[in-house]
Structure 1
Amino acid sequence: MNIEFSGQTVIVTGAGHGFGRAIAQAFAARGARVYACDVNEAGLTETAAGASGPHAVQTARVDVSDRAAVHALVERAAAETGRVDVVVNNAGGVLGQVGRPLEEISESDWRSIFAVNVDGAFNVAQAAAPHMKRQRSGRIVNISSGAGLGISLTGIQAYASAKAAQIGLTRQLAHELGEWGVTVNNVAPGFVRSNPTTERQWESYGEEGQRKLVQNIALRRLGTPDDIAHAVLFFASEQAGWISGQVLSVDGGK
């Protein structure tokens, strides 16, 4: 299967490290014009510098919970290339939070995780939809988590809830946008050591906890950011043209 994206415009959020970096670089290597955004400007610079392909990765500092900033980025991409073919809603995470008892969770802690994981995905999809409808084609790929299908391994209530909500949004938008040839799918990664937060989580398990985590994976290994990027590439490809509203667990087998 030869997957290429020459002539296509791809927007990737949360591209300053981890999954987002691997996804942005994978699209760039396959010929796409990539617009990468994050709040981490230094990380974006590294993402762009490490990319290969016929087009330089364009970067922008964007907080995806800021609706106006998101719409500005999408309009910029459309104005400069004439198209918006793929959006990957990867921005998210736990924002430095750790598991705590329910009664200790503040309103701001709860809402901040929803803002980036759910509102951000909605904002990007909303901005991209008019362009995709006009083209009568497009791909929206959301990045959730195994926490959205089960529980948060670190006990973060808002994270598990937000990722479950994002999966619900995926299914709803698939039905709304399907008649214009737009597919909407979701990749649910298992545990991957991909950024400073997951590194801290890995270390917190200790040697015995790490061993148990890996033993509970059918393939007996942790995944990599490239494993997640490959699933996104498939959902964004022509080969996945009759797949929509689906959640693909990329977790090594559970």
Structure 2
Amino acid sequence: MNVRFDGQTVIVTGAAHGFGRAISLAFAERGANVWACDVNRSGLAMTEQQALERNLPLNVRVVDVADREMVREFVREAGAGERLDVLVNNAGGVLGQVGRPLEDISEDDWHAIFRVNVDGAFYFSQAAAPLMKARGSGRIVNISSGAGLGVSLTGIQAYASAKAAQIGLTRQLAHELGPFGITVNNVAPGFVRSNPTTERQWGSYGEEGQRRLVEGIALKKLGTPDDIAHAVLFFASEYAGWITGQVLSVDGGK
């Protein structure tokens, strides 16, 4: 299966490291005009540098996905040629929070995780929809988590809840946007060592915890950011033209 995106405009959020970086570079390698954004300026610069080293064109912008007007301005810039083919809502995470008892969670901590994981996906989809509707086609791919289908390995209540909400948003938008030729799907990664947060999480398990985690995976190994990027490429490709509202677990088998 030779997947190409020549001439297509692709937006990827949360592109400063991990999944977002791998997804951005994967699209650029396949001919797409990629617009990558993140609030992490230094990480975004590293993504841009890796693209330059591979001689890949990549447009990067610092964008807070929880800022609706900033999102709208970025989408207007990326779609200035009146074309937006693919939107990948990857931005998310736990924002440095750790698992704590329910009664210790502040209102600000709860809402902060929802803003980046759910509000951001909503704002970007809302801004992208008119461009896709005008062309009668488009692909939206949301990146959730196994936590949205089960429980959070770290016990972070807001993260599990936000990722479940994002899956619900995926299914709802699939039905709303389907008549316009727009598909909306979701990739739910398992545990992948992809950024500083997951490295700290991995280290916190210790040797025995790490062994148990890997043993609980059918393929008996951890995945990579490229494994997640490949699933996104499939959903964004012509091969997934009659697939929408679906959640694909990319976790090595549970």
Equivalent-residue separation in structure 2 for 1:51 and 1:152 (angstroms): 33
Give distance in 2, aligned partners of 1:158 and 1:63: 19
Aligned residue for 2:25?
Answer: 25
**1:14-50 CA distances to partner (integer Å, 9 max, x unpaired)?**
0000000000000000000000000111111111221
Q: Percent identity?
A: 75
- Is the Cα–Cα contact under 8 Å of residues 175 and 245 in structure 1 kept in the other structure? yes
Residue 137 (structure 1) aligns with: 137
2:225 maps to 225
Deviations 1:46-72 (A, max 9, x none): 112212677510010001000000010
Residue number in structure 2 paired with 1:174: 174
Distance 1:24 1:154 in 2: 27
Q: Number of aligned pairs?
A: 253
Q: CA deviation at 1:82?
A: 3.0
CA distance in 1, matches of 2:167, 2:138: 18
CA distance in 1, matches of 2:38, 2:88: 12
Q: Which residue of structure 1 aligns with residue 78 of structure 2?
A: 77
1:28–1:54 CA contact under 8 A, matched in 2? no
Contact 1:32 1:55 in 2 (8 A): no
CA contact (8 A) 2:13 2:89 kept: yes
Q: Is the 8 A contact 1:11 1:86 kept in 2?
A: yes
Residue 83 of structure 2 aligns to a residue in which SS? coil
Deviations 1:176-204 (A, max 9, x none): 00001000000000000000000000000
Q: In structure 1, how many angstroms separate the alpha carbons of the residues matched to 2:49 and 2:58? A: 8
What's 2:124 paired with?
124
Instruction: Give the conservation status (yes or no) of the 8 Å contact 2:82–2:131.
Output: no
Whole-angstrom CA distance in 2 between matches of 1:251 and 1:172: 24
Q: Residue type of the partner of 1:96?
A: G
Asked whether the 8 Å contact 1:31–1:54 carries over to 2, the reply is no
SS of aligned partner of 1:60: strand
Letter in 1 for 2:190: G
Partners of 1:84 and 1:16 lie apart in 2 by: 21
CA gap 1:108/1:22 in 2 versus in 1, 3 angstroms: same
In structure 2, the residue matched to 1:94 is: 94
C-alpha change, 1:54 and 1:180, in structure 2 (3 Å) is farther
**Distance in 2 (alpha carbons) for counterparts of 1:191 and 1:168:** 21
SS in 2 for 1:142: strand
1:11 maps to: 11
1:185/1:235 contact within 8 Å kept = yes
Residue in structure 2 matched with residue 65 of structure 1 by the alignment: 66
Whichever residue aligns with residue 67 of structure 1, its letter is R
| Residue ranges of structure 1 left out of the alignment (5+ in a row) | none
Task: State TM-score, norm by structure 1.
Answer: 0.98
Partner Cα distance (1:92, 1:4) in 2 = 27
Whole-angstrom CA distance in 2 between matches of 1:208 and 1:160: 24
Alpha-carbon RMSD? 0.9
Counterpart of 2:249 in 1: which secondary structure? strand
Check if 1:40 corresponds to 2:40.
Answer: yes
TM-score for both structures, normalised by structure 2: 0.98
* Partner amino acid, structure 2, of 1:56: P
Distance in 2 between residues matched to 1:101 and 1:55, nearest whole Å: 46
